[in-house]
Structure 1
């Protein structure tokens, strides 16, 4: 049975000035999963990821990483367990070459010089940035900057990556390229949590979706189950992928006919994934 890396146990988070951002959220992420954390703006996604990174403390409940309560973990412990990539890569890029940027984390974790060089070389290779090692990061495209941020995170050798809307601001080719990179990292053993409102990405690339709405977990299951018509996802502010919506229209399938639609959606999703295998 895969190891549980992240265990979110009945988390409640209240704002200092009143109001509840999260109300009893509870789920676990196992090693090797590729999970989408979805929901409309204000659903609690960002708050939950900040709690997972120990940047906030829950009002009640607990979060553990590899069996350790995050409230008792050092920054170094956190960095070895979990990496975070911001929606805007400019928020975390500040050194004058790509290689120096990727080296920063391992240096702060007191890797030996040899280990730093090895970690940087491996991270650049894994993200396809070896040829850009001496480039000034600010001159790169949005997609390349996002890869630099990902390389910087994986250089610290975490078990899991959380990425906040990583394809935001990218053209379709760059977005597809980035998602295929994440699929590749996942196949190499890195657990992925993708924070997104993009249902196309969920359908095409992830294996599980957790949906938040108004601070509560309202769905936890496969993309197929999310889009098979048995869930009224519109009430959560979600729009089904275009291929799914079109398939429903072309086949004239009643949304309550879950069994038939499940097969249709499964074939559509599997075909799209095979195109990127």
Structure 2
């Protein structure tokens, strides 16, 4: 399994727009990390450098011992799979199963492995019954899972999810939760970019906060969402439980409804 390392990484687009400014970050193999911050903070640019879609203007990005500057995007994507925010940027086959099979087939997996991993990915993402459908006949939320399954089927060590909860109902959120548990059992590293703070607090212990193209915090959720300076600089709105706990003057670090209720009851007895 590959460790990710970004060492004093900078990135500017051809028009001179600076998107990442001196980012240093290490993600251990098998870790689960949420990257949060407002639009324009540099999150998507940062993760695209992790899988070779973009090369740093300065600094180095390592996937294991591989410096992404020395390898093609195709070579790096064998280690780091990236699920785009918009599924329509990623889908190009006329049926779901062909879309999911494309990655492992292109990577040279044998037919038996392609069959097994394609079926696993489709079932995990709740799209097995849709395998003969044209993806564009499916709703946006389901197309998101088609692209997730396509990346999972490549069996990369690292999975990057860009706004996976966008457009999802409770069924989709439950599928995502089950998927994260399965990937954890398999030792996969998972990074997600999201604006859904409830999803973050439920499924991620480590939170990386970006603002103004830089990393401004790398802490536990219980620390980040009670740090007023970080929240103000990143313009993040803490999850509802943290907001209520702060409003009531309760102890810091509360993130779940049971924790909040317990603290309220304890406070009443004081």
TM exceeds 0.5? yes
Q: By how many angstroms is 1:37 displaced?
A: 0.8
Deviations 1:231-268 (A, max 9, x none): 4412211001011101222x334xxxxxx313xx1565
Deviations 1:64-96 (A, max 9, x none): 112211122244432321111111112211212
RMSD: 2.3
Unaligned ranges ≥5, structure 1: 254-259, 273-277
Q: By how many angstroms is 1:163 displaced?
A: 0.9
Judged with a 3 Å threshold, the aligned counterparts in structure 2 of structure 1 residues 68 and 33 are, in CA distance, closer, same or farther, namely same
Q: How does 1:22-33 map to 2 (within 5 A)?
A: 22-33=20-31
Q: Distance in 2 between matches of 1:177 and 1:235?
A: 33
Q: Distance in 2 between matches of 1:56 and 1:269?
A: 42
1:275 corresponds to which residue?
none
Q: How does 1:97-246 map to 2 (within 5 A)?
A: 97-229=95-227, 231-246=229-244
Normalised TM-score (structure 1): 0.85
Q: Distance in 2 between matches of 1:270 and 1:152?
A: 37
2:84 corresponds to which residue?
86
1:51 corresponds to which residue?
49
Normalised TM-score (structure 2): 0.87
Contact 1:13–1:58 under 8 Å retained in 2: yes
How many corresponding residue pairs?
A: 261
Unaligned ranges ≥5, structure 2: 262-270
SS of match in other structure, 1:261: coil
Contact 1:14–1:59 under 8 Å retained in 2: yes
Contact 1:92–1:149 under 8 Å retained in 2: yes
